[in-house]
Structure formats: C-alpha cells, structure tokens
Structure 1
Amino acid sequence: MKQTSYKCDKCCDTGWILIKQENRQPLAVACECRKIEKLKSEWKYSGINVEQSKLTFASFVVWNKASQRMKDTAGAYCTDFDEIRDKRRNSILLCGQVGSGKTHSSIAIALNFLKQHIKVVYMPYRDVITKIKQNMIDEEYYTRTISKYQLCEVLLIDDLFKGKINETDVNIMFEIINYRYLNFLPIIVSTEFSIDRLLAFDEGVASRVYEMSKDYVVEIEKDIRNNYRLK
C-alpha cells in the first residue's frame, strides 16, 4: 500500500492537531504550519517575497554608528506605532548613502507590522512607476493601481525617485502621497537621496514626506565607509 506523503507530518496537512484529554473530547489546536502559511499569504498580499522575508531586525548587522542609529530609529518607530499611527507624524524616512541598510530596515519594519496583523503594501518605486506609465491609457488599471497605494493601511515606498525622474513620475507620486498625507495614512520611505535633494526633485512631495516622518528621520551621510556592501 502506497504511503501518503504530507507537507506537514504533524497535522497531516489539516492545519489542526488533536490533543487528547482525559474523559473529554480531543482539543483541536492550530498547527504551526497553519500560522506559517498565513504569514506567507500576508507576505504575498504585501508584495514581499520569500527572500525579502529574511530581512528582519534580527538579521540586520550593526557595523557602525550610522547603522546603529538606523536600527534604533526603526525599532522605536515600531514600538511607538500604535500611539502615533493616527497622528500627523506617523511615518518614517530612511535616506542617504547607498548600501547603508535602508531597504533592510524598511522591510524589517513591515515584517514586524505583518506579525501584528497590520497590513503593509510594498511599493518598489522604479518597477511600479514604470508599469503605471506603460499602462496609463488603461484608465481602469491606473485607478486600481493608484488606489492600492493610496488606501492601504501602511505603504512602504522603496528607493523613492530612483533612476531618471520626469514630471509624470512626480505627478504619480504626488497623487499617492498627497492622498495619504491628507488622510493621515502612514508611509515607510527609503531613498538614496538626502532631504535637500528630495526637495529639489519636488518640494510638494518631499515636504509632505518630511512632515509625516519628522520624528523618525535617519539621513546617512554620503560616505563610502557607510556602504555595508563594500565591507
């Protein structure tokens, strides 16, 4: 007789484990695999892939004062979030030197939120902007996509203004960020540009991001010694 193979031998893929109780009906307890699958589903909804799910606070390496400041600020933001989420300054901005851990810290925040059942949507700036511009004549697609980033509980914008920037790029980002600004919806932003450079790109977008993130801003000095990839 062929033996049945299960992904999870503990629950035989049912998602539940029966615990025997003396003189009582068995108690059904959710299997660990059920929790893992639920978390993977939340990652998929958020746009975070399995590789990115390894970018946790635990795996973040502190190698200098700048990286310590980034990890401490990101951790403080997570700790304070319930208290600040409905306030004007409810967001976080990680900016400056390439390779300083901005994306890692941003995703670590997102993963922390997902474990608390706070829904986060990941927006890799360059990929999303390119796709939106390629489909701008499709009004239904445009509205649906913009609304996804306007309305989500928390929005993570990774590598804001990466690549060549034109007026259309700025207008799309203004549409998303201004909606979230007006409705007190939090954003997590990473960018390789300084605050001054962001303001030079577009003062309307940058000033809103800065005001929302004012209490949780980390600007890493442009210095090759702050690039972990070159260690």
Structure 2
Amino acid sequence: MQSACTISQCSEDKYKCAECMDTTWIIDENNVCTRCHCYEKRIVENAWSRFGVKPEEVLKVNDYKAYDDVTYEVKNKAINYIQNFDEIKKSKENSFALFGQPGAGKSHLVIAIGAALLNRQERFIKVVYMPYEEVIRDLKANAMDDENYIRIQSKYCRAELLILDDLFKSKIKNNKLIAELNSSDIKHIYPIINYRYLNKLPILVSSECTPQMLIDLDQAIARRILEMCGDNITVFKGVKYNYSLKKFVK
C-alpha cells in the first residue's frame, strides 16, 4: 500500500500556488490574513486571457525554429534578454523589437519572452500584454470617459514590462505603408510610448513596419522606440521569413 502524500506534496500537485492553495490569501500564526504573492500575478494573467492569450500555454523561445543566421541570432538575443533582464532593464537601451515580414514569428518571440519573465521561479515580472489594434480601439471607445480612459492608459504606461504587439498593423499591407497615422492614432499611443521612454520602462515590440516605415509614420514615436531598443532590434526582410510560406519559396 502506497503511503499517503504529505500536505505540501498534495498542494503542489493540486494547486498552482501551494502557499495559499489558490485562495490568494495567507493566514499567519496570529490569524491575520494577507494577500499571497501570487495575487498580483493572477491579475496580470487574467488581463492576458482577456485577449485570448494564456501565459502558461504560450510557445516558448526554445520552440522557435531557427534556420539561418538571422533567425539564430534573434533566438539568441531573446534568450539573452530573458536571462539578463534584471540588468538590462536598468539601462537606457532596455527594450526589444522585431520588425518586418509577417509570419516570421515576431509575436511568438515577444510573447514568449514576456511569458518567460512572468512565469519565472524567482520574482516574477509584471508583464502587460498590449495587442495594439484592440487596445487603441478600447482607448478610443473610452475617450469621453476621463476616469476610465486614464485607468486603461495608466496600465500600459506603468507596466513593469509592456508587450506592444502588432504595432500599426492596419497601416501596412504586403510590406508597404498603406495609410498614415492620424491625429487620433497619435493621441492614444504617443503618451504611452513617451511615458515609458522618459521613465526607462522597457517594451517588447512586434511590428510589420521596418524602422524606416516607423520613421515615415511618426518620427517622434520612432525615435523613442528605436533609442529604447538599441542593438536589440531585428528586421526580417523577404517572404523567405514567412514560416507558413517558406517551403513554397525557392
């Protein structure tokens, strides 16, 4: 007959957090209740889930299939960023950006970096996921409600690490700019980028723009993003970097 598992073993098997058994509350020896350290992480994870992304289920950086010098280099950059984030975030060039060819795995990598930092065993990083088009629509819809607008905007301004996914996607088609940024677009995204730039708060950016397209759309936004990323920039050029089409391209 197998011996019964200990309480701690059962907790580890049954609950995400063995300390609070997923209640998000801890009672100390004086019967005082305090929030468990997992509470804030649960809030962040729920915010990701709102956009259909579960941090514990996303593909990992190691799942990215590198196959040439560019893809091996970007994979190594991503791994280095995760491993050295605590030092990197202290620098002026503390961000990471992937530009260019759709289908190159840009979203895969920036989301994988964010999830790895959110899920790490030591102190987790409060990573906020911002799919550009959805969030800008949300901000525009709340433009007349000052209290709600500021609450939404502040979440993206102040995040410890922000994933800015598919930046300006609706402005690009077939690797060409098809529209300009209007005053409304700039009104909603510029304050977020500028706040993070001034306060040295890192961002992970994916965009079908190239750096030059970004400059053509808005020089002020482009300068801030490119300065924040420094050498942590990769530009995918050509349909050969579209994973789904790669086997059809000679």
TM-score range, shorter chain: 0.7 to 0.9
Q: CA deviation at 1:80?
A: 2.0
The match for 2:222 among 183, 206, 230 is 206
Q: CA deviation at 1:220?
A: 1.1
Partner of 1:108: 112
Q: CA deviation at 1:133?
A: 0.9
Partner of 1:189: 205
> Secondary structure at 2:62's aligned position in 1?
coil
Alpha-carbon distance between aligned partners in 1 of 2:131 and 2:46, rounded to the nearest angstrom: 14
Partner of 2:27: none
Mean CA deviation greater in 180-189 or 34-43: 34-43
> Secondary structure at 2:15's aligned position in 1?
helix
Alpha-carbon distance between aligned partners in 2 of 1:118 and 1:52, rounded to the nearest angstrom: 14
Alpha-carbon distance between aligned partners in 2 of 1:176 and 1:51, rounded to the nearest angstrom: 23
Contact kept? 2:128, 2:159, Cα under 8 Å: yes
1:230 is aligned to 2:210:
no
1:64 is aligned to 2:68:
yes
Where structure 1 has 5 or more consecutive residues not aligned to the other structure, the ranges are 1-16, 20-26
> Secondary structure at 1:35's aligned position in 2?
coil
Contact kept? 2:58, 2:115, Cα under 8 Å: no
Partner of 2:98: 94
Paired amino acid for 2:161: V
Partner of 1:147: 154
Partner of 1:31: 12
Alpha-carbon distance between aligned partners in 2 of 1:184 and 1:152, rounded to the nearest angstrom: 11
Partner of 1:167: 183
Alpha-carbon distance between aligned partners in 2 of 1:52 and 1:168, rounded to the nearest angstrom: 35
Q: CA deviation at 1:178?
A: 0.5
Contact kept? 1:91, 1:188, Cα under 8 Å: yes
Count matched residues: 207
Paired amino acid for 2:226: Y
Q: CA deviation at 1:34?
A: 2.1
Q: CA deviation at 1:140?
A: 1.3
Contact kept? 1:113, 1:120, Cα under 8 Å: yes
The TM-score normalised by the length of structure 1 is: 0.82
Where structure 2 has 5 or more consecutive residues not aligned to the other structure, the ranges are 23-37, 172-180
> Secondary structure at 1:156's aligned position in 2?
strand
Mean CA deviation greater in 57-66 or 88-97: 57-66
Q: CA deviation at 1:210?
A: 0.5
Alpha-carbon distance between aligned partners in 2 of 1:80 and 1:28, rounded to the nearest angstrom: 32
Q: Percent identity?
A: 37
Partner of 1:179: 195
Partner of 1:14: none
Contact kept? 1:46, 1:120, Cα under 8 Å: no
> Secondary structure at 1:212's aligned position in 2?
helix
Partner of 1:11: none
The match for 1:129 among 125, 136, 148 is 136
> Secondary structure at 1:228's aligned position in 2?
coil
Matches within 5 A, 1:12-51: 19=6, 28-29=8-9, 30-35=11-16, 41=42, 42-47=44-49, 49-50=53-54
Contact kept? 1:62, 1:68, Cα under 8 Å: yes
For each residue in 1:107-158, what CA deviation from the matched residue of structure 2 results, as whole angstroms up to 9, or x when unmatched? 1101110122111000000111112112211111111111000011100000
Paired amino acid for 2:150: T
**Pair 32,66 (structure 1): closer, same or farther in 2 beyond 3 Å:** farther
RMSD between aligned residues: 2.3
